[in-house]
A and B are shown apart, each in its own frame.
Chain A
Amino acid sequence: MRRLVWAAALVVGAAPALAAQGSTEELLVQAHQFYERLEVERALPLLRQIVSPNWPFEVSADQRVDAYKYLGACLALAGKRDSSMLYFRAAIERDPFTELDPSLFTPAQLATFDEARRRTLAVAVRPVQPARVDPRTTRVTFTVVATHAALVNVKLSAIGVGSPLVLFQGTMDGVREIAWDGLLANRRLAPPGRYTLAIVGRSRVTGAADSARVYFDLRHEVAALEDTLPDLDQRSLLPERVSPEAARRDVVKGVGVAAAALLIARAANGDLGGSERGAADVVAATAAITGVVAFLADRRHGAIPENIAANARHRAQRDSVNAALRARNADRIAATVLLVAPAAGEGVER
């Protein structure tokens, strides 16, 4: 029995330690529950544990911001406005998108939070979400924020390439969505690669400055393009001039035709009164003269009009095919879809 009592006492004594060793999420849930039951005194130590440097467990950025926000809210309820504002500012600095839901928090808490925002300049860009964007019909949307009125400059630039594109320049206060049509300053579609969206703000209230940036990868999704027909080389074109060798061959051909005519006449006419050979002589003389004239003409200018015309037709046909092909490719490129994905930084140095 004594052993059982000791064991029970040990369990009860160790309970707070076990709670402290619970995960950050469990502790946050517990603090929320205390806060909602207005047990601020019980919520505060839990929240302070989470933001303490001695808290042994991992605390995500969102959890830390949430803890600071509820610390500020608890302290505002407790009437400790300065401390409340301190924690609210810590939340805002870590996440400028932090908001208080007016339906869940009191006017005093909201007023303190607004004052914290007014005293703290922070600008931020919401991380880029993976998206598939057809630039003809939709836009890539970036969400930026300035915690209070500030002169803000939002620039988009390809890493290491070209000059940045200014997406927004002016005064803003709060959250703003900025749409990008996928084009760069030269009005051409942004090429694939890694991009950064940078926001720089200067407070119009305090003069303080802040900046932030996000990275994202851009890829093109485009239908396969067709290759244009290659340039016409000498082998695919007809010769446009008669070569010197061909000119010499023309003489041989002319003599060959002449010889053929004479041979035919001689072979057949021999036993039928072979003196008559006039017709063959006419053809033979014409062929020989034609060969010589063709040789001289070839040597003088040698252009082959038929081949020149055929080559011109061939070139025109090729140009026509290529023009149609380029038009089809242009249509496909015009239908390029942008694939956006978040990235961690500027990429690996090469």
Chain B
Amino acid sequence: MRAARLVAGAILGGVACANAQRALTVEPLVSLAEHRVDAGFGVERSFGPIIGGVGTLRLGPGLAVDVRALGGSLFGANGVLDRDLGELGVEGSVAAGRWLSLQVGAARRAYGTKLGRQTWTTVDVGAAARVPFAGGAIRGVGRAALLPVVSVSGLPDPGMAFRAAAGLEYRLRAATLGLEYSLERYDFPIDQGVRRLEQLATLTVLLRLRLR
């Protein structure tokens, strides 16, 4: 809960600062997240809501920087510990065509349980495609990114990590309503005969508002 308050504060602060810029959008979002991890003891599931937002500053035609802040609580199933999740990230994108943009970003994520705290630092490189529907009123969205740098406290770096997403954006006058399924996957190297697999899947609803 404390993490959620921190996230909300960060978003509001970021928006207030960036408000003086030219093209600014803000996206409050709500996600249902499912976290799964298999560390050799079977699959542990936790599930819960995440809230947050993304502030996007358009620096020029096709060039944008966004900052995101998320936070929420994931409730464990079948004896799995509940955990809080908080994340701050920054991402830059540049248009590579009418519907394709290239993205690079970095994020810092923290999972907190009553037993301890684990932090993740990631760098991602990928692309996003936005394909217009119905004359541009709707857009299909697809994203894919590799995470070449992932650093997890207390764990070796995963050998393979990626993020993929698919969804839709509906333009409603000056606002845009989005629905997106996203999945992050981390495959850690085998350690003492055990291969740790971890993933975070989210179903996100967002509302993009153009401030100026």
Contacts and interface: CB of A to CB of B under 8 A. Distances in A.
Given A264-B183, A306-B135, A257 B199 contact: no
A255 to B, nearest CB: 10
Contacts of A242: 134-135
A163 interface: no
Contacts of B137: 304-306
Nearest to B36: A272
A268 B199 contact: yes
B135 A307 contact: yes
Interface stretch (B3-11, B81-89, B104-112, B160-168): B160-168
Interface stretch (A57-65, A150-158, A275-283, A325-333): A275-283
Interface in B16-66: 32, 34, 36, 38, 43, 45
B134 A250 contact: yes
Nearest to A273: B43
A261 interface: yes
Interface residues of B, number: 32
Interface stretch (A70-78, A117-125, A289-297): A289-297
A341 interface: no
A304 B135 CA distance: 6
A307 B136 contact: yes
Interface in B167-183: 167-168, 171, 179-181, 183
Interface string B129-147: 0010111111011100000
A151 B181 CA distance: 100
B166 A268 contact: no
B167 A253 contact: no
Nearest to A277: B201
Contacts of A264: 164-166, 181, 183
A253 B131 contact: yes
A283 B166 contact: yes
A280 B201 CA distance: 9
B183 A287 contact: no
Contact of A265 (B134, B136, B141, B201): B201
B103 interface: no
A297 B36 CA distance: 40
Contact of A297 (B134, B136, B180, B202): B134
Contacts of A268: 164, 183, 185, 199, 201
Contacts of A271: 38, 197
B34 A257 contact: no
Contacts of B203: 278-279, 282-283
Contacts of B199: 268-269, 272
Contact of B133 (A294, A305, A307): A294
B15 to A, nearest CB: 26
A164 interface: no
Contacts of B34: 276, 279
Contacts of B180: 283
Contacts of B141: 257
Contacts, number: 104
A260 interface: yes
A272 B197 CA distance: 8
A298 B134 contact: yes
A201 interface: no
B202 A287 contact: no
A265 B140 contact: no
Contacts of A276: 34, 36, 45
A269 B184 CA distance: 10
Contacts of A302: 135
Contacts of A246: 135
A96 interface: no
A254 interface: yes
B138 A294 contact: yes
Contacts of B165: 264
* Residue picked from A268, A291, A298, A306, most chain B C-beta under 10 Å: A268
Interface string A301-317: 01111110000000000
A127 interface: no
B138 A279 contact: no
A256 interface: yes
A278 B45 CA distance: 14
A286 interface: yes
A290 B171 CA distance: 13
Contacts of A286: 168, 179
B133 A261 contact: no
A257 B130 CA distance: 10
Interface of B: 32, 34, 36, 38, 43, 45, 131, 133-138, 140-142, 164-168, 171, 179-181, 183, 185, 197, 199, 201-203
6 contacts: A239-B135, A264-B183, A276-B36, A276-B45, A280-B201, A303-B135
